[in-house]
Structures are given as C-alpha cells and as structure tokens.
Amino acid sequence: MDILVSAHSGLRYIALLLLVIAVVNAIGNKTKGEYLKKDKMINLFTMITMHIQLLIGLVLYINFWISKVPAGAAMKMPFRFYTVEHIFMMIIAIALITIGRKKAEKEGLAGFNKHRLIRNFYGLALIIIFFAIPWPFLREGIGAGWF
C-alpha cells in the first residue's frame, strides 16, 4: 500500500503542473479563437492524470478506513480530513474537469468558447485541488509529506 501512497503523493505535482499548463494555455489562446490538436492533447492528458489520481485515491480510501482509522475516530480530525474533506473536494474537482472537457469537445462550438470553458472549469478545479491537498504546513495534524 505504501507504494500507492507514494505514487498518489508524487502524482500530485504532475497533476498540478498539467492543470496550470491547461489553464494558462486556455487563457493564452482564448482570443485567438482556434482550438488546435495541441490544446486537445493538453486537456486530455490533464484529465487522464486526474482520473488516475481518482482510481489510486479510491483504493487508498478503502484501505484508510480498514487499516488507518481508529474505531470511532472517523469524524475526528485528523482522520476526517481524509474520510470526508479530501475525497469530497477532489471528486467535485475531478467531475468539473470531466464535465468541462466534455462540454469543450462538443462539435460546432467556436474555439473561443472551448478555451473559455476549459479556463472556467479547469481553473475552478485547480483552486479546489490546491486547497484539498494535505500540504505539510497544514494545521491539526492533517499535513502529510512533500513527496
């Protein structure tokens, strides 16, 4: 299970980097109006990385309940951060990415609007994900390591 925690932990940086690239790319190309193969690929790989995080996260979640939460402590900090806040915010963010991309990939939509959709949906997801990560400096003992 440790290897999955390490993978999930390290993947956060790739996920964040791809999200930042996708949002900056969407903002940068918004006025040009064209939605190119390059844009499609950036947004697709970002979504795939998020879905990998989701799958690993679901396995970690089950394991967390089984082997890490002491009896009766699931709703007490720091455990509640993982049993409730982390999973809830991440699933909302990943849903936003999935829906935003689906909308942006619709046929017949002007490039301008595609970039705008990505900027809005991926941008909001980026903010949510940033705040749902257990950064080491967080209080109440919820912070995990840097890697």
User: Residues 18 to 57: which contact ligand HEM by CB under 6 A?
Assistant: 50, 53-54, 57
- Which positions from 102 to 141 touch ligand HEM by CB under 6 A, shown as an x/- string? ---------------------------x---xx-------
Q: Is the dihedral of CA 101, 104, 106, 107 positive or negative?
A: negative
DSSP state of 109: -
Nearest approach, Cβ of 135 to ligand HEM (angstroms)? 8
- Beta-carbon contacts of residue 17 (< 8 Å; ≥ 6 apart): none
Q: Using only C-alpha atoms, what is the Rg of the chain?
A: 17
Closer Cβ to ligand HEM, 37 or 139, answer by number: 139
- What tokens does 65 get? 């309940």
Other C-beta atoms closer than 10 Å to the C-beta of 90 total: 20
Number of residues that bind ligand HEM (CB under 6 A): 25
User: Is there a contact between 60 and 5 (Cβ–Cβ < 8 Å)?
Assistant: yes
145 binds ligand HEM (CB under 6 A): yes
Residues in contact with ligand HEM by CB under 6 A are 5, 8-9, 12, 15, 50, 53-54, 57-58, 60-61, 63-64, 68, 82, 86-87, 90-91, 129, 133-134, 144-145
